Protein backbone atom coordinates (compact mmCIF):
# COMPACT_ATOMS: atom_id res chain seq x y z
CA UNK A 1 0.00 0.00 0.00
CA UNK A 2 1.29 3.43 -0.83
CA UNK A 3 0.15 6.76 0.60
CA UNK A 4 0.83 9.88 -1.43
CA UNK A 5 1.12 13.54 -0.51
CA UNK A 6 1.15 14.93 -4.04
CA UNK A 7 1.43 18.56 -2.95
CA UNK A 8 4.65 17.69 -1.08
CA UNK A 9 5.85 15.09 -3.62
CA UNK A 10 6.21 12.48 -0.88
CA UNK A 11 5.13 8.84 -0.95
CA UNK A 12 5.07 6.31 1.89
CA UNK A 13 5.30 2.76 0.57
CA UNK A 14 4.19 0.21 3.19
CA UNK A 15 5.21 -3.34 2.32
CA UNK A 16 5.87 -6.71 3.90
CA UNK A 17 9.30 -7.04 2.28
CA UNK A 18 11.00 -3.91 0.96
CA UNK A 19 13.41 -5.93 -1.18
CA UNK A 20 10.56 -7.76 -2.95
CA UNK A 21 8.68 -4.69 -4.17
CA UNK A 22 9.18 -2.52 -7.20
CA UNK A 23 11.13 0.60 -6.37
CA UNK A 24 8.78 3.55 -6.52
CA UNK A 25 11.71 5.95 -6.74
CA UNK A 26 12.24 4.75 -10.31
CA UNK A 27 8.56 5.28 -11.12
CA UNK A 28 8.30 8.61 -9.26
CA UNK A 29 11.70 10.25 -9.72
CA UNK A 30 10.45 13.67 -8.54
CA UNK A 31 9.12 12.24 -5.25
CA UNK A 32 10.78 11.47 -1.96
CA UNK A 33 9.79 7.83 -1.40
CA UNK A 34 9.92 6.44 2.12
CA UNK A 35 9.66 2.69 2.42
CA UNK A 36 8.53 1.00 5.63
CA UNK A 37 7.59 -2.55 6.51
CA UNK A 38 4.43 -3.62 8.29
CA UNK A 39 6.61 -4.96 11.11
CA UNK A 40 8.35 -1.61 11.47
CA UNK A 41 5.01 0.19 11.74
CA UNK A 42 3.80 -2.22 14.41
CA UNK A 43 6.17 -0.79 17.02
CA UNK A 44 6.15 2.58 18.72
CA UNK A 45 9.79 3.22 17.84
CA UNK A 46 9.16 2.26 14.22
CA UNK A 47 6.14 4.55 13.93
CA UNK A 48 8.17 7.41 15.35
CA UNK A 49 11.12 6.74 13.01
CA UNK A 50 8.88 6.70 9.93
CA UNK A 51 6.99 9.74 11.22
CA UNK A 52 10.25 11.64 11.61
CA UNK A 53 11.24 10.74 8.03
CA UNK A 54 7.85 11.89 6.73
CA UNK A 55 7.98 15.17 8.61
CA UNK A 56 11.49 15.87 7.32
CA UNK A 57 10.53 14.99 3.73
CA UNK A 58 7.56 17.36 3.97
CA UNK A 59 9.67 20.18 5.38
CA UNK A 60 8.01 20.08 8.80
CA UNK A 61 9.62 20.59 12.18
CA UNK A 62 10.37 17.41 14.17
CA UNK A 63 7.96 16.43 16.93
CA UNK A 64 9.09 16.64 20.50
CA UNK A 65 8.69 13.08 21.75
CA UNK A 66 8.40 13.86 25.44
CA UNK A 67 7.20 11.38 28.06
CA UNK A 68 3.61 12.63 27.90
CA UNK A 69 3.43 12.24 24.11
CA UNK A 70 5.00 8.77 24.20
CA UNK A 71 2.64 7.64 26.97
CA UNK A 72 -0.44 8.82 25.06
CA UNK A 73 0.85 7.29 21.84
CA UNK A 74 1.49 3.97 23.59
CA UNK A 75 -2.02 4.05 25.08
CA UNK A 76 -3.54 4.64 21.63
CA UNK A 77 -1.46 1.85 20.08
CA UNK A 78 -2.54 -0.50 22.89
CA UNK A 79 -6.21 0.35 22.31
CA UNK A 80 -5.79 -0.27 18.57
CA UNK A 81 -4.12 -3.61 19.29
CA UNK A 82 -0.90 -2.54 17.59
CA UNK A 83 1.47 -3.59 20.37
Contacts of residue 78, defined as CB under 8 A and 6 or more positions apart, other chains included, come to: none
Residue 10 structural domain: 2-79
Cα–Cα distances (Å) from 57 to 8, 19, 63, 77, in that order, read 8, 22, 14, 24
Q: What digits encode the pLDDT tens for the residues 18-72?
A: 666 667 888 889 999 999 999 999 999 999 999 999 999 999 999 999 999 999 9
Domain count, the chain: 1
Give this prediction's pTM. 0.83
Amino acid sequence: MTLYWHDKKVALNIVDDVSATPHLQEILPDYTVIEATCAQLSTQDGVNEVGAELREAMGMEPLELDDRFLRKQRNLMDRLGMV
